[in-house]
Amino acid sequence: MRKRIVMAVVLAGTMLLSACSSGKNNVAENVTKGEETNRTTKKPITLTLFDKNVGDPFTNPVAQEITERTGVFIEVQQPTGNPDEKLNLMLVSGDLPDIALIDRREATLNKYIAGGALIPLNDLIEKYAPNIKARYGDVLSKSVYEDGKNYYLNNWYGLDPDPNWAINMRMDVLEEFGYGERALAGDSFTQDEFLDLLRKFKAKYPSVDGNPSIPMTVNAEHMPTIIGSFKAMYGMKTYYEKDGRLAFIVRDPRYLEMIKFINTLYTEGLLDREWGINKAQNYEQKTSSGRVFATAGGIVNEANSAFRAQNGEDTNKLFYGFKVTAPGVDPADTTFGPRSSLGWDGVGITVDNKHPVETIKFLDFLASEEGQYLLMWGKEGMNWNMENGVHVPTQEALDAIRADWAEFSKTTGARKWTWMIRNGLGEDGTPYDLMFRYNRDNVNQHALKSMEGSTWDTALYDDLGPKGGTPDALSEQKIKDIIDNSFSNMVYAKSHAEIDDMYKKMIAELEANQAVKIEDIYTANYKVRMELYNTAESK
């Protein structure tokens, strides 16, 4: 039975590769058939689209408007179980949809490309998709496959300008200690200023409501985010990059400085003793209790909601996000906003699609400014109106979103179909995402100022490691485990001198486990990626 399955996979892959190998001839043949169909009938073309997120029928007001505008009706396919399992089954069986929306972060997308299931889009984009060509820009260059061609279009692409991570501090405490004006303006704080604030809070409030105060705590369930927030203070990114070579971040001289700073917080009792084991529930209870002054990571939504419920919407007893800068680091060089410009998903046209021209035109409309507002805001005159060149939502729409955004989406179609979505703001300055980016509370509005400029693109550093299942991949994982364990041990060290010894021991362990070889792989893959990117950019 196993042999049959393997043979079926090989046969399916061979057939698909054969279909793709004819390249432009097959695309041209399908293009001719598609154009002929469009000329002989005015009925909408039906295309099947696999959507891992939404299985609703394509009948709501937005869907109807899209069909009217593009001449395309979508038959949505959506799995009841695991999307990747369904996609892999379709790949093996050869029963492909016309359009596939696949998670970019999963290996499935590369399987579809390598297996010849997706057609190259470059010629179609050049001839029929002016909006995609103009609006995607270098995202297309960054998304080329190893043969230099584009096989999918990114979804939720472009750098998201919204704040990501921050060092969060309570506004009422900042005002009490004389930093109110700077805090309200969104100014950054130096590491020394932050340390001084934590010490003052501990000294003035040794206990709150009979319980020991906690100058700073974190949610240990999001430890990569927490460590990332500390690294952001020092301007560190995914790797330590020097002279064109990528190395593990622990080789960055600033990494040891960061460890010593966190250790200072811990040894002075400024960092929660349970920082490494806090579950989400414990973290929320602590931050909502009034005993905590600061935390790291994303916006502190649960505690802020509790404070508003207790003290009113206008309370100053809320956590706000700030940049905290390590010595010698400019606020503009902090890295609190790691984002990938390549988005979440890939939208591809499969080899089974008989209407590639109509399909790329359909996708081009969705990617346009007009298409984005239709998808995300709904129909003009129903949910919003254009006033003096600006998209303005109706009060009824805003009230409905506030009352039940899911029901609003279901009935109006707004934000139900999130295909070809671009992050950020439209040409008139309004956000494409009406439901979650239009009406922002004071904390989120403030974060747009305080965290501005710290966003950076992770795309070129993603997935540079050795291939899964290889001996090198096992070595890489062992090295990462050594780094993680050493991090915790160094934070708990009794002195900075002890940290120095632990750090030297960690580096020695990395060398003993072929760290240089893994770094060679990172560097080589990075150079190949940059060559592909630069070649695509120069075309």
pLDDT tens-place string over residues 480-510 = 999 999 999 999 999 999 999 999 999 999 9
Q: With both helix axes pointing from N to C terminus, report the angle between 223-233 and 253-267 in degrees, rounded to the nearest 10.
A: 110
Q: What is the mean pLDDT of residues 88-102?
A: 96
**What's the pLDDT score for residue 41?**
52
DSSP reduced 3-state for 468:
coil
The answer for residues whose C-beta is within 8 angstroms of residue 323's C-beta and 6 or more apart is 166, 167, 188, 189, 233, 331, 334, 336, 450, 451, 454
- Between residues 53 and 450, which one has the greater pLDDT? 450
**What's the pLDDT score for residue 468?**
87
**What's the pLDDT score for residue 20?**
41
Q: Give me the phi and psi of 517, to 5 degrees please.
A: -65, -40
**What's the pLDDT score for residue 55?**
80
Residue 108 predicted with pLDDT over 80: yes
Contact predicate 50/21, CB 8 Å? no
Amino acid (1-letter code) at residue 139: V
pLDDT digits (tens, 9 = 90+) for 210-260: 999 999 999 999 999 999 999 999 999 999 999 999 999 999 999 999 999
Q: Work out the number of other CB atoms within 10 angstroms of the CB of residue 370.
A: 13
194, two tokens = 């932050």
Q: What is the mean pLDDT of residues 35-42?
A: 48
**What's the pLDDT score for residue 79?**
79
pLDDT digits (tens, 9 = 90+) for 5-35: 333 333 344 333 343 444 434 444 444 444 4
**What's the pLDDT score for residue 9?**
39
Round to whole Å and give the CA distance between 443 and 173. 15
**What's the pLDDT score for residue 34?**
46
- Between residues 22 and 128, which one has the greater pLDDT? 128
Round to whole Å and give the CA distance between 455 and 359. 34
Question: Which residues in 166-323 belong to E strands, given as ranges?
Answer: 166-170, 189-190, 207-208, 211-212, 214-217, 240-242, 245-247, 292-297, 319-322
Round to whole Å and give the CA distance between 338 and 360. 31
- Between residues 380 and 26, which one has the greater pLDDT? 380
- Between residues 395 and 13, which one has the greater pLDDT? 395
Q: What is the mean pLDDT of residues 417-424?
A: 96
**What's the pLDDT score for residue 10?**
36
pLDDT digits (tens, 9 = 90+) for 147-181: 999 999 999 999 998 999 999 999 999 999 999 99
Contact predicate 148/129, CB 8 Å? no
**What's the pLDDT score for residue 54?**
86
